[in-house]
Structure 1
Amino acid sequence: MSSDIHALSGAYALDALDSDERSEFEKHLADCPICRAEVDSLREAAAGLADLTETTPPPGLRERVLADAAVVRPLPPLVDRNRRRRRWRALLAVAAAVVLIAGGVAWHPWDRPSSPASLSAVGRVQHAPDAQRTTQTLPDGGTVTVYRSASLDKAAVVVKDLAALPDGKVYEMWLQDAKGSMAPAGVVPAGVSSAEMVLDGPAAAAVGAGVTVEPAGGSRTPTSDPVALLAFGSA
């Protein structure tokens, strides 16, 4: 076992070890609670990047990172140069993730756009090339924003700061067709004031979406006047 086995935790968390290193480290991991805790925290930090706000990196960031990487003095592991290089690339990525999370901001390196596979179900509707967006502010100050993509045949809703409802009541979403009929499209969980979800049912032919207050569990047809009614543009 190499003397720097503890230093492998970052590279292990990012799956940057070769098979021999991985086998050696996993044997060590079984008996080292400190390394297990570090691996878990690094994996959690990396996963948390997807939930943070995106912003443009400051000018010169790439050059500073590369310059710093060139002068970093690594620990002297008993491994070959290629292994050491892979490890430090992995540790640098983890360190960047931790710094960005601590600051509450994340961005894609060198302004690279997100791939569709990295988006949530709601995000895929929001970022579809033909996505339409319409927002309504409610009298109590809450907002309802609906996104519709005809190419995906999907709609998604983001609600914020909805007024509290009496016990046994929930907000229910609806999709409206060209004849004015309302089809149930999902229920905001009871007691939740802010949420986002993809609406049930085909959305390409819908002309709008609505929100009503319904008994817990939802209704098959609206039983109240709409709290919000939002029209889509032409599909």
Structure 2
Amino acid sequence: MKHDEHLHTLTGAYALDALTGEEQRAFAAHLRRCEACLGEVGEFEATAARLAAAVSLPAPAPMRRAVLTRIDTVRQAPPRTRPPAPALLTTALTRRAGPFVIAASIAAAATFGGLAVRQHQQAEQARTQAQHSARQAQDLAAVLAASDARAVHGRTTTGAATTVVTSALREEAAFVSSGLPAPPADRTYQLWFDDQGTMRPAGLLPGDGATLMEGGPGTARAVGLTLEPSGGSLRPTTTPLLLLPLPA
């Protein structure tokens, strides 16, 4: 009996292929005879797919254009040529070109140098964003795979599907939405923990997707979602679009 109770807690880990060896085989056999776990695994797999889609990022437009522009001009191996000595090249330019040509050459070099700096900055920004997204995905996956992970599902007043996954052991909660319309330009979605009637801010939600809620669930009994002025509010200023009771 205790063995079966332990297996019931592995639905999240199984959905993420995090089980191995004997534990994986035991749970697979348990899944064939437990309809409750089978349904919960399906819900966790759907939530994991939403999380993956929410944190995936396309390549930055400037980087993509630069790669496509240069792809046909970059050699697989550089040609075997010997560059002229810098001193000789400078002497040749001085003798054969007037000061305007030399000035134009310097200006072109500065322009290309500035372009290289901008491309480097764009690449660094893309790398930083990718690292942040990777950390967010890891945190969300950790909540989902927690041994005590519990998921509840609901819909907003606009019809968007939502899922809240909580882990008491990690003291964290993740919010996932699908079909949430983009907020107006001067508004943002804001998440809340309902602490027995007192709404506690739990982070902003720019739009559809997944996010790790700010602050642990604690003794919260529900999760709320409202549409607030840009930047968020200390207390809800509009009627909740969602008030989803959390599992006990």
TM range (shorter): 0.3 to 0.5
Q: Flag the structure with larger Rg.
A: 2
In terms of fraction of residues, the more helix-rich structure is 2
TM-score, scaled relative to structure 1: 0.47
